[in-house]
């Protein structure tokens, strides 16, 4: 064992720079994989831990006071999965407010701070409890994502009425504190609650909070309550603004969405870096054997067995990987606070990510096992190498290959010809570099695409998660007024098209499903449909791919749909995708909806404007003319900008990190390759310097040596990113209910990035080759 350690020590001392480079690969891979696994495994458990610490509810039923009944409470108390039920009077309104410089409509639940409650009571992250009638405590997301600060004015707009408050604190909310749910709980002082209730008595409501035996029971309870409360005949027409419900599972999904995407990206990128590391290890072992083949022969002649020398090599590289992985895991814990700060604007949770032995153990095991296996198979040649052949430097030193590109008959710059000649003679090494650069180039292109599609230009992503996204939408109090408003909108110069569109809840297979009702699906511009066709007749519908997989119903099958006391059978003609309602959705025509709801008339209009036209002016005119008829008007472009604006900083950080790691990997690969080539060609370099080659010519020769393969690798990586980004992205987020994507990779930016990577690689190759300057021609020849 001591002799083996002596060999390992000698090898490491001789190649300390390359050992450090290999360690850096292991560090980067471990850093990315550890962060990805910490997010994937740790954030979910953190959410559950905070829920238990705050004694958060697992199910919420929120409704107008007129819809509340003691029967609901009794049903919940007698439910087999329920352990605790509490009710509270609230003020429940749908209002607009400023968020990220845009107007956002959401449901607000105002409660009296001093009211008695046991579930997720007032928990301050910052500030103090409300004292005056103007004070309000808002969920932490208003600071993390909306930019509000203590002491800021906060104004809600309901129709023409405005309600203003002063922010005195930010609270930690589990169920009602995410921008994706669009339901927020705000705390008022007792006098503030009474004052608001006096001003707006029509918004009196009730909230029922429920805890189950296990949080996973909340989804079953959610569906049971949907059947019990939402689709009774007497409230079948109740608007979704009047009665809402939310399960713990649904809340958790939207709060962990961004951490889930980031963790998946990190794990995939880590897998790419591990693959690169393994290729580099294999290359380094093969070159190490060639460089030290005489030493191996001498050691074998002295009595060292092939197995001992093999295990010395395996342990050497495994030790380097072990140290690098440990450092990477350690750095990942230092980076978690930064990652948490970036995610806060979407999660509205302060996650610190303590030590997780499972994530760290999996990271360490994955890297060590991969390096061990590759090292063992790559170093097998040592076992069969004969001492005499090794002492003669092996047959590999005698080349009988064809002389490609003879210098005396080839035209072109001498440095370029020598570089191409060397590249041809090292085909295996060139192929490996192309694979490495292609992999990291693809990762960099994916990072750039994520940032552009989710950060800079989120229109495609907004259509992906929101389905059909118009420029503006109008909700009417009475459907009878819809025709007048439609005629007015069609007469406006900037209007491109107008059609009826509405989301209504229906039941199928004892589950609540979000039903998209439209007059003409051919007018849609989004990416809702991904297979089959849209419904045309009153007996047809589309269902979401997520729902299709859950109930095992496919195109050309029939499905029964219920609304109130009526049930009808429909033919499934297409599959759609959406993230709304947990991916549970269907779509049908207006006549199709009238089969199960005969008195149904649409009360919502979607409006599309000419390109370059802003919706603000149109909304202002419509609101002035139809003041009494309108229930709500939304500038959808502005709303999507407010909701998706927070993703810009998040994915900018992800893109920058991926690009920086890509550049670092290219530099490390160049360092390892160039150092190896310089050492192996030191005699040739000495001769070239002695006959008159300048140091810069030799440096340029080595830089050009790798430039073609790096250019090819970057081009292939960029092309793979452009062609494959959508497929990879959907594979990462398919669990959210999305089946396909139409988010093209930015071709111009990708080309610019590829060109920049090639220039950076050339510049660093020159820099790394600078070590030639320090060595004289005599030294190079004599070594």
For 524-574, how does the pLDDT look when each residue is reduced to its tens digit (9 = 90+)? 987 788 889 999 999 999 998 888 888 899 999 999 998 877 899 999 999
| Residues 6+ positions from 68 with CB-CB distance below 8 Å | 87, 205, 206, 208
Within this chain, do residues 28 and 72 fall inside the same structural domain, yes or no?
Answer: no
| Residue pLDDT, tens place only, 34-88 | 888 888 888 888 888 889 999 999 999 898 888 888 888 999 999 988 999 999 9
Residue 532 falls inside a structural domain: yes
| Residues 6+ positions from 316 with CB-CB distance below 8 Å | 7, 8, 11, 12
Within this chain, do residues 343 and 449 fall inside the same structural domain, yes or no?
Answer: no
What the block records as the tokens of 313 is 């090599």
Total domain count for the chain? 4
Q: What is the pLDDT of residue 500?
A: 93
Give the rounded distance of the alpha carbon of 660 from its chain centre: 18
The pairing of strands 540-544 and 585-589 is antiparallel
Judge whether residue 261 has pLDDT over 70. yes
| Residues 6+ positions from 32 with CB-CB distance below 8 Å | 266, 267, 269, 270, 273, 661
Q: What is the pLDDT of residue 571?
A: 96
- At residue 170 the predicted structure's pLDDT band, cuts being 50, 70 and 90, is very high
Within this chain, do residues 247 and 260 fall inside the same structural domain, yes or no?
Answer: no
Within this chain, do residues 49 and 79 fall inside the same structural domain, yes or no?
Answer: no
H/E element, 453? none
Q: How far is CA 319 from CA 23, 29, 486, 753, in A?
A: 9, 15, 72, 36
204 close to 189: Cβ distance less than 8 angstroms: no
Residue 634 falls inside a structural domain: no
CA distance 238 to 224: 18
Within this chain, do residues 728 and 579 fall inside the same structural domain, yes or no?
Answer: no
Q: What is the pLDDT of residue 186?
A: 94
Task: Give the least confident one: 27-31, 276-280, 486-490, 564-568.
Answer: 276-280
| Residues 6+ positions from 679 with CB-CB distance below 8 Å | 291
Residue 638 falls inside a structural domain: no
Q: What is the pLDDT of residue 437?
A: 83
Residue 728 falls inside a structural domain: yes
Within this chain, do residues 149 and 69 fall inside the same structural domain, yes or no?
Answer: yes
Q: What is the pLDDT of residue 84?
A: 94
- At residue 237 the predicted structure's pLDDT band, cuts being 50, 70 and 90, is very low
Mean pLDDT estimate for the chain: 80
- At residue 406 the predicted structure's pLDDT band, cuts being 50, 70 and 90, is low
DSSP 244: E
- Choose between 231 and 376: higher pLDDT: 376
Judge whether residue 391 has pLDDT over 60. no
Q: What value does the mean pLDDT take over residues 501-523?
A: 87
Within this chain, do residues 337 and 274 fall inside the same structural domain, yes or no?
Answer: yes
- DSSP states of 315-363: HHHHHHHHHHHHHHHHHHHHHHHHHHHHHHHHH---------HHHHHHH
Spatial CA neighbour of 276 closest among 364, 374, 359: 374
- At residue 241 the predicted structure's pLDDT band, cuts being 50, 70 and 90, is very low
Q: Last residue of a domain, which of 254, 280, 312?
A: 254
Judge whether residue 178 has pLDDT over 70. yes
% of the chain beyond a pLDDT of 70: 80
Residue 719 falls inside a structural domain: yes
- At residue 395 the predicted structure's pLDDT band, cuts being 50, 70 and 90, is very low
| Residue pLDDT, tens place only, 681-708 | 677 777 777 777 777 877 787 777 777 8
Q: Which domain holds residue 12?
A: 1-56+255-397
Within this chain, do residues 560 and 588 fall inside the same structural domain, yes or no?
Answer: yes
Q: What value does the mean pLDDT take over residues 443-464?
A: 72
CA distance 165 to 652: 34
Residue 402 falls inside a structural domain: no
Judge whether residue 216 has pLDDT over 80. yes
Q: Last residue of a domain, which of 254, 272, 307?
A: 254
Q: How far is CA 138 from CA 158, 212, 730, in A?
A: 18, 26, 34
Within this chain, do residues 97 and 206 fall inside the same structural domain, yes or no?
Answer: yes
- At residue 396 the predicted structure's pLDDT band, cuts being 50, 70 and 90, is very low
% of the chain beyond a pLDDT of 90: 23
Q: What is the pLDDT of residue 239?
A: 44
| Residue pLDDT, tens place only, 285-330 | 766 666 565 666 666 665 667 667 777 777 888 888 899 999 999 9
Q: How far is CA 339 from CA 336, 426, 598, 648, 656, in A?
A: 5, 42, 52, 14, 13
Please report, for the chain, how many H helices and E strands are present, in that order: 26, 20
Residue 471 falls inside a structural domain: no
Spatial CA neighbour of 584 closest among 545, 553, 533, 556: 545
Judge whether residue 1 has pLDDT over 70. no
Q: How far is CA 439 from CA 29, 659, 665, 690, 700, in A?
A: 14, 12, 11, 40, 26
Q: Last residue of a domain, which of 224, 254, 284?
A: 254
CA distance 63 to 67: 6
CA distance 447 to 651: 8
| Residues 6+ positions from 718 with CB-CB distance below 8 Å | 441, 442, 445, 750, 751, 753, 754
Q: What is the pLDDT of residue 188?
A: 95
Within this chain, do residues 248 and 265 fall inside the same structural domain, yes or no?
Answer: no
Residue 461 falls inside a structural domain: no
Within this chain, do residues 200 and 104 fall inside the same structural domain, yes or no?
Answer: yes
CA distance 15 to 242: 72
Judge whether residue 163 has pLDDT over 60. yes
Neighbours of 473 (CB within 10 A): 21
Alpha helices, DSSP H, located in 78-203: 141-144, 190-199
Judge whether residue 641 has pLDDT over 80. no
Within this chain, do residues 199 and 250 fall inside the same structural domain, yes or no?
Answer: yes
């Amino acid at each position: 064992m001591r002799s083996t350690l002596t060999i390992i020590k000698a090898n490491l001392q001789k190649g300390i720079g390359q050992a450090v480079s290999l360690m850096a690969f292991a560090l980067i891979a471990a850093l990315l994989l550890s962060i990805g696994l910490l997010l994937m495994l740790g954030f979910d458990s953190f959410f559950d831990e905070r829920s238990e610490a705050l004694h958060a509810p697992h199910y919420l039923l929120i409704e107008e006071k007129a819809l509340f009944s003691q029967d609901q409470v009794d049903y919940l108390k007698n439910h087999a999965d329920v352990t605790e039920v509490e009710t509270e009077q609230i003020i429940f309104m749908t209002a607009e407010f400023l968020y990220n410089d845009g107007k956002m409509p959401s449901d607000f639940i105002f409660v009296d701070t001093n009211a008695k409650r046991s579930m997720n009571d007032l928990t301050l992250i910052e500030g103090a409890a409300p004292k005056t009638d103007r004070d309000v405590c808002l969920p932490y997301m208003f600071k993390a994502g909306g930019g509000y600060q203590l002491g800021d004015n906060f104004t809600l707009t309901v129709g023409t009425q405005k309600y203003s408050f002063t922010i005195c604190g930010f609270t930690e909310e589990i169920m009602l504190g995410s921008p994706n749910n669009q339901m927020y709980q705000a705390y008022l002082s007792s006098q503030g609650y009474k004052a608001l209730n006096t001003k707006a008595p029509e918004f009196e409501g009730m909230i029922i909070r429920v805890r189950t035996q296990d949080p996973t029971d909340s989804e079953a309870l959610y569906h049971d309550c949907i059947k019990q409360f939402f689709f009774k005949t007497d409230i079948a027409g109740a608007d979704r603004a009047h009665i809402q419900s939310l399960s713990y599972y649904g809340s958790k999904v939207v709060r962990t969405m961004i951490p889930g995407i980031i963790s998946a990206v990190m794990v995939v990128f880590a897998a790419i870096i591990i693959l690169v590391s393994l290729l580099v290890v294999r290359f380094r072992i093969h070159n190490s054997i060639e460089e030290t083949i005489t030493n191996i022969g001498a050691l074998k002649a002295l009595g060292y067995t092939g197995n001992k020398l093999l295990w010395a090599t395996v342990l050497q590289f495994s030790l380097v990987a072990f140290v690098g992985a440990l450092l990477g895991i350690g750095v990942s814990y230092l980076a978690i606070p930064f990652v948490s700060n970036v995610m806060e604007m979407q999660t509205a949770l302060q996650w610190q990510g303590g030590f997780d032995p499972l994530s760290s153990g999996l990271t360490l095991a994955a890297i060590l096992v991969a390096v061990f296996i590759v090292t063992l198979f790559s170093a097998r040649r040592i076992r069969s190498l004969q001492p005499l052949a090794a002492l003669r430097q092996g047959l590999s030193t005698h080349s009988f290959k064809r002389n490609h590109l003879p210098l005396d008959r080839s035209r072109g710059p001498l440095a370029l010809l020598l570089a191409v000649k060397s590249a041809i003679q090292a085909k295996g090494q060139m192929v490996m570099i192309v694979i490495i650069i292609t992999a990291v180039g693809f990762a960099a292109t994916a990072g750039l695409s994520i940032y552009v599609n989710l950060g800079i230009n989120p229109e495609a992503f907004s259509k992906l998660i929101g389905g059909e996204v118009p420029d503006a939408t109008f909700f009417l109090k009475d459907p009878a007024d819809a025709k007048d408003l439609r005629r007015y909108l069609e007469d406006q110069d900037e209007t491109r098209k107008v059609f009826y569109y509405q989301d209504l809840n229906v039941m199928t297979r004892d589950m609540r499903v979000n039903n998209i009702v439209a007059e003409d699906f051919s007018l849609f511009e989004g990416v809702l449909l991904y297979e089959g066709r849209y419904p045309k007749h009153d007996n047809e519908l589309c269902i979401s791919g997520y729902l299709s997989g859950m109930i095992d119903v496919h195109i050309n099958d029939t499905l029964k749909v219920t609304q109130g006391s009526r049930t009808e059978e429909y033919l499934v003609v297409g599959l759609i995708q959406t993230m709304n309602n947990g991916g549970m959705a269907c779509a049908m025509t207006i006549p199709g909806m009238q089969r199960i709801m005969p008195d149904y008339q649409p009360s919502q209009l979607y409006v599309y404007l000419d390109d370059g036209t802003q919706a603000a002016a149109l909304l202002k005119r419509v609101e002035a003319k139809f003041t009494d008829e309108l229930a709500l008007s939304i500038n959808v472009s502005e709303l999507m900008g407010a909701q998706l604006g927070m993703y810009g900083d998040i994915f900018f950080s992800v893109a920058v990190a991926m690009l920086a790691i890509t550049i670092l990997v290219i530099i490390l690969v160049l360092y390892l390759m160039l150092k190896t080539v310089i050492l192996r060609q030191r005699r040739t370099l000495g001769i070239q310097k002695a006959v008159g080659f300048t140091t810069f010519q030799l440096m340029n020769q080595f830089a050009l040596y790798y430039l073609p393969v790096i250019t090819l690798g970057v081009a292939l990586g960029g092309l793979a990113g452009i062609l494959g980004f959508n497929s990879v992205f959907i594979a990462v987020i398919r669990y959210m209910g999305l089946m396909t994507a139409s988010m093209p990779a930015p071709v111009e930016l990708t080309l610019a990035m590829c060109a920049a990577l090639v220039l950076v690689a050339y510049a660093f190759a020159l820099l790394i080759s600078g070590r030639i300057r320090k060595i004289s021609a005599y030294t190079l020849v004599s070594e």
